[in-house]
Amino acid sequence: MAAHVPLPPGLPQLLKAGTKYFSGLQESLFSHITACRALAMCLRTSYGPLGHNKLVITHLGKALCTAHAGTILRELELENPVARMLGAASQAQEEETGDGANAVVLLAGALLDNAEKLLRAGLPVAAVRDGYDAACKEAVRLLPGLACHVLADLRDPAGVAGALRAAVGSKLFGYQDFLAELVARCCVAALSPEGTFEPNNVRLCKVPGGGVTDSCLLEGMVFCTEVESQVHQAHEARIAVYCCPFGLARSETKCMVLFQGAAEMRAYGDAEEALLGRRVRAIAEEGASVVVVGGRVDPLALQYADQLGLMVVRLSSRLELQCLCRAVGAVPLASLVPPPPGAIGHCQRVYLSEIGSTAVVVFRQDGGACPVATILLRGATHELLCSLEEAVTDGLNTYKALVSDRRLLPGAGAAEMALAVRLATLGTYLPSLEQYGILEFAQALKTLPAALAENAGLPVNETMAALEALHQLGTATAGLAGRHSAGTRDTDGQTRTCLRGKGLPPAGTPPPPRAGTLTPLPPRAQTPTSPPLLAGTRSQDLDPPPAC
């Protein structure tokens, strides 16, 4: 007989056998911080435009090669509860803004790492928490004052392309100019007359083959599918959309039909055929010339459709059906009934085409009447197409964010460094215990430009010191400058993105600086005509507060 093992007194006695119970800083805090640090270290090398791709093998054995933090986090099966919370926070950020998932994990990882240092040094948890709270509030207060540009017109493709360049470039570096211009045209086309933008109104259609620069914008929709019927095109098409199979509905429950003889069986089959024929004919009589279905296509129904000159297209995804309904103004029907007049959509041209060697069906509305636009993505490999999709999705989400707030912050680590410098000044002058938390918060912010520099192959210590010096001197827009060129200037003279790759110098770029050096950029010019950014703080307001 097994010996009875007594449980330790206290809480474990109240819990079910096998329940794990942790207590104390070491067990309940530091072990979780170690897990979060490991997660941040894992994603750190994928941060920024020169971040590395990760090869992730999913539980189904599928290999994904991506630098997109959201995708990596979705596939990592995290067990540690705090690391899972961090993953959830990062995914919440992605759902809310469509980007910045990696930045959330890196910043949170650095904050936890620095908190551990303070706790090990003997600071109470409450003091660290208060310090972080104060620093966070101050950072939120300072951010509006760091905005370096306001997008004047959401319908100006050139201005929008400038604002989207960094977002699309961080996933597919080297193609940012081409892609930003493509996404900008698409966003402007999909912007509603009321000024709202819904990223779902832009469809991405990945067609393997060709090069990235063969990607293009199509007004209307493109689906990678074949036409089922023998009719392959329709002009001024009236479209009926069914989210059910194109045929008679089959019952889910098993049933038995007993026939008395062959004649009865034939009569049953004939009645079924006649019913199907009547239904397809009724659809044609209501004026539909194209039928789009979301389920299987019955060969007999297809034969009737061919006789009546109907074009039949099958779409396998419900999302695609919904999107098509929005684009052509159709109402999806749940059973094969004649479409009521208000449920029929309209499209100028529907036709079967071929891109590369992939068959596609195009629903085209010429003249800007279509609220949905499609970006046709081309690329030689599946991985390249996925990176392209991530880059374009980031661009679309950035445009959505711009529709609600047109202000832009300087990139390439400039905003993070500007905040870090200001918070460090605040922390230095604060007499209470909070100052340690504030100083560590400032240090944590520097992790983001440091990760950018490391992934770009720059000497991290020198680069960070030079960048910090520039910010100390008041250049709030200074970001990381790569080996190959200085910062780029937009038409308004502001610096937005400062890390550029080989062979991409913009016209009129000054000669490249020495490897690993930073080029000082002029301070922000506040023109009297420029609208006030916000009733927020400007850099000159951020002098050290008077010592109390």
* Residues binding ligand ATP (CB under 6 A): 47-49, 51, 68-70, 99-103, 166, 169-170, 394, 411-413, 452, 480, 497-499
Find out whether 67 and 5 touch, Cβ atoms under 8 Å: no
Q: Which of 130/492 has CB closer to ligand ATP?
A: 492
Q: Could you tell me the CA-to-CA distances from 20 to 13, 28, 34 in Å, in that order? A: 12, 11, 18
Q: Are 195 and 400 in contact (CB under 8 A)?
A: no
CB 46 → ligand ATP: shortest distance, Å?
A: 6
Scanning 286-381, the segments in alpha helix (DSSP H) are: 299-308, 318-328
Stated as kind and residue range, the H or E segment containing 290 is strand 290-293
Specify the residue, 97 or 358, whose C-beta has the smaller distance to ligand ATP. Answer: 97
Q: Rounded to the nearest whole angstrom, what is the least distance from the CB of residue 403 to ligand ATP in the complex?
A: 19
Cβ atoms of 314 and 194 within 8 Å: the answer is no
Nearer to ligand ATP, 339 or 449 (CB): 449
Give 170 or 435: the residue with its C-beta nearer to ligand ATP: 170
Q: Are 165 and 499 in contact (CB under 8 A)?
A: no
Handedness of CA 273, 279, 281, 283 (dihedral sign): negative
Which of 160, 165, 161 lies closest to 175 in space, CA to CA?
165
CB-nearer residue toward ligand ATP: 372 or 480: 480
- What residues form DSSP beta bridges with 353? 360
- 193 vs 503, beta carbon nearer ligand ATP: 503
Q: What is the dihedral of CA 422, 423, 428, 434, to 10 degrees?
A: 160
CB of 47 to ligand ATP, least distance (A): 5
Residue 229 or 485 with smaller CB distance to ligand ATP? 485
Q: Using CA atoms, how far apart are residues 283 and 336, in angstroms rounded to an integer?
A: 8
Q: How far apart are the first and last CA of the chain?
A: 71
Q: Is 100 left (phi over 0), alpha (psi -120 to 50) or beta?
A: left
Minimum CB distance to ligand ATP smaller for 102 or for 494: 102
Let me know: does 30 contact 106? Beta carbons within 8 Å. Answer: no
- The SS3 call for residue 501 is coil
Question: 486 or 499, CB closer to ligand ATP?
Answer: 499
Q: Output 349 or 407, the one with its CB closest to ligand ATP.
A: 407
The Cα–Cα gap between 80 and 36 comes to 9
Query: Between residues 114 and 495, which has the closer beta carbon with respect to ligand ATP?
Result: 495
* Minimum separation from the CB atom of position 34 to ligand ATP (A): 23
Distance CA 414, CA 521 (A): 11
Helix/strand/coil for 331: coil
Residue found under tokens 């009521």 = 340
Nearer residue to ligand ATP within complex by CB, 186 or 467: 467
Q: How far is the CB of 527 from ligand ATP (least distance, A)?
A: 24
Least Å from the CB of residue 106 to ligand ATP:
8
Using DSSP's 3-state secondary structure scheme, residue 276 falls into helix
Q: Shortest gap between Cβ of 345 and ligand ATP (angstroms)? A: 36
User: Quick one: tokens of 16?
Assistant: 């079910």
The token pair at 520 is: 């000082």
The structure tokens listed for 420 are 């870090």
Closest listed residue to residue 446, CA positions, set 473, 476, 415: 415
Query: Within a 13 Å sphere around the CA of 356, how many CA atoms are in the beta-carbon half?
Result: 15
User: Least separation, in Å, of the C-beta of 276 and ligand ATP?
Assistant: 50
Fill in the amino acid letter for 184: A
